Structure 1
Amino acid sequence: MFDIQSIPREAFDGRLLPIELEWSRPSCGHCESNGKHCRLKNDSSILHDIECHSSKPEGPVEKLRVAGEVLGPSLAAFLAIASYWFYSSNKLKKESELKIEQFLVDYKALKPARYSYADIKRISGNFIEKLGEGGYGTVYKGKLSNDVFVAIKILNNSKGNGEDFINEVGTIGRIHHINVVRLVGYCADGCTRALVYEFLPNDSLQKFISSERQRCKLGWEKLHRIAVDIAKGVEYLHQGCEQRILHFDIKPNNILLDDNFNPKISDFGLAKLCSKEQSIVSMTAARGTIGYIAPEVFSRNFGNVSYKSDVYSFGMLLLEMVGGLKKNDVGGQDKSQVYFPEWIYNKMEQGEEIAIQIEKGSDNKIVRKLTIVGLWCIQWYPVERPSMKVVIQMLESEETPSMPRNPFTSTNGTQNAATGRGRIFSSELEIISESE
């Protein structure tokens, strides 16, 4: 800024004292005429080279400009992030609202509702896809929404006086259990009677135990799990509802399987309601399917009709699961199912296999357990049968139950019926009597 090259070096060493420096003031007339000040340029090599500058403080606009240059990029990034967050949250909110709305539509569809015949036609697509047909009527596939499929049972008007319809709606409509089929709705429009159920894609258990090829798809571990779940469903009917529900038609055809082969009890047309304190029920006529009907339903000589009648039917179902494919091996006898349990009992006593496709030791243990539990359940006298609660304990226990007494060799079960006791395991676990 100042030319000091002509100053002797001795001046800086302190040898020339005192020393005095002076220089001329630069000419600032041009700058001052414009309302500014002047100063020597720091980076100039020219003597007395000046520049004009303003001494006024920076104004608000300039400060904003500087602040904008500094904060602008950060602010832009913040606004971009905020905009993205707002868009995303708004999108998620709308998706959540749509999801809730769809759930409410589906939930409403899954509550038992009354439909008109026009509704039934619309839901079934004008009855275009038939799932099955029987003496009770015809079943069609339908759709309530994109995610809810149903099975529509059109009841045969020539059967009964409407009691089956009343039983179905009056019982299954109040049941909520994972192993009981759900009633979605019903139709009572003129002479049309229809029941709308949740759709179960794998048909009935009968389909898988009556075919060797289909049975192999499940395997014995899965069949054991199915048996346990059915037992839990029946036990819920007996003890889990406000009123006890007696099904009276437990059989493989009435056990439906969902897409994961979880079983669900269906067809409550023959069901009866009674209080939990009521140990017996009155019946004017036998009901059920031949081969699965408990002896006391036919004749009171075997005891009173009670929830133990369902236990008998469940026992027959277990035996059917184990040896259903070998029923034709029953030689020299009437091939009616009434002889089938005796054939199984004799095979067990002789140590022979009663099931096919036993590939490993664990399978053999499962087959033996299912068979023995089934034989306990089909004892002639109701008091000798376990409750469904005990049946579940037997099926889930690591220990295989002991064989029950042979119900086919003695016609006099009075003594056992009176005591109501039978040893299930080698330990002290005993059958729960009728009064319990």
Structure 2
Amino acid sequence: MGITESKLLVASVSRACNEAEEIDGLSKNILSDPLVQSQIKNILSDPLVSSPCHAVVSTIAQTRQVASYATPIWKALPVDARNKITGHESPTQRAIKRVTTTITLSSDLKGFLDSCKNRPYYFFEAIGRKFDLRYPLAQCYLFLSDTELSRGRVQRRLFLIIFARLKARLGHSRLHSSAREIIAFSLQHSGLIEDNASDIDRKFGDWASRGERYEVLAAACGGLDSLIILPGDICDTFWEKHLPKSGALHDKMIKTLQQRGVGSFVEELGGVSILEDIIRCIWPRLEEDINEAMREHEPSIHRGETTAHIPTADPNFFSNDLAMQMHGTSYTPALDANGTLHASTSEQTISCTQRSPHYTMQMYGMQHVATQNPNIVSNDQARQSPCFLPEIRIGGTFITSTRAQVNPSGY
């Protein structure tokens, strides 16, 4: 570095130091100064730093000392600034450059979608092997486990979405351990899955995470059917792992996709969603799988511990299962097509219906009106059960605790 560059660098550092003193924090100007950035890069890439056999030992020591100061500054640089200096591009930047032409459907894919639109069950029949809808959860699991079958990109994306929605149905952001047991029990009980519970849990978590990314992408692009027409020359790993869920690069990619025809494709479908219709066909059977696993796995859920996970169709709903347990009554939970939970017993029927923004529950002929925040159980509900106090855990999961007394505030 020459004398002129050194003076300029000193001036930049001096201004940054003055600013840091005034704001009592790190100066942003020094991090965005191209001269400072380039000199930090030169220092870190200097061969003296990585060549211990250099003849001038004192110079090595001095350079290493400078590098020790430069390293944290380099790490503090914004990623975009570092990439600009090094010439490195993020996966999203590279993907954006590849979306250069209008995206169109192949004739084969168009024919496939037309068949699915007319008869949603065709989606499963076209997979290439018998997709037994008696065990839809196990069939989705087998499909995603089979690397050959998973090359069907539209099917793969839809099944990942299903796993993401099952995760939301059972535990919102995180699954309680007993919810994980229910998933493993349901899959192993089908007789089609040989994986142990640990492998099932690992795969389910990974697939649900990937599905959540597709949900975010689809919401930004106008609907689930936008996943059908994603660029074919960009691998699925990018969408499932690398595309940011928000931020400037995420927005730029969405804008690029819209400009290349994704938005117009969704608009052409009007109010019809092919993929949503397919999910609606299979979802009631998935609910049956989960409900059956809950019933048959009941000893594991109600093992007499101080707390137990009570899944609901929506983690924000107060569970009918909980209402049944209050008096030790056997129950059969179910979800109808309108999103209403029903729990039938020999003595009574309890229903829970969403009436936005309130939630209501009929119980023993009394109407329970929940608070504005569905994560808070109101006082009258707490007083109806002197033995059980509902609690809320992270992720909107309802927990029931057996206690001698109820908190008088009812929370």
Q: Indicate the structure whose relative CO is greater, using CA pairs within 8 Å and at least 6 residues apart.
A: 2
Shared fold (TM-score, shorter chain, > 0.5): no
Q: Which has the higher helix share?
A: 2
TM range (shorter): under 0.3
Which structure has the greater CA radius of gyration? 1
Normalising by structure 1, we get a TM-score of 0.26
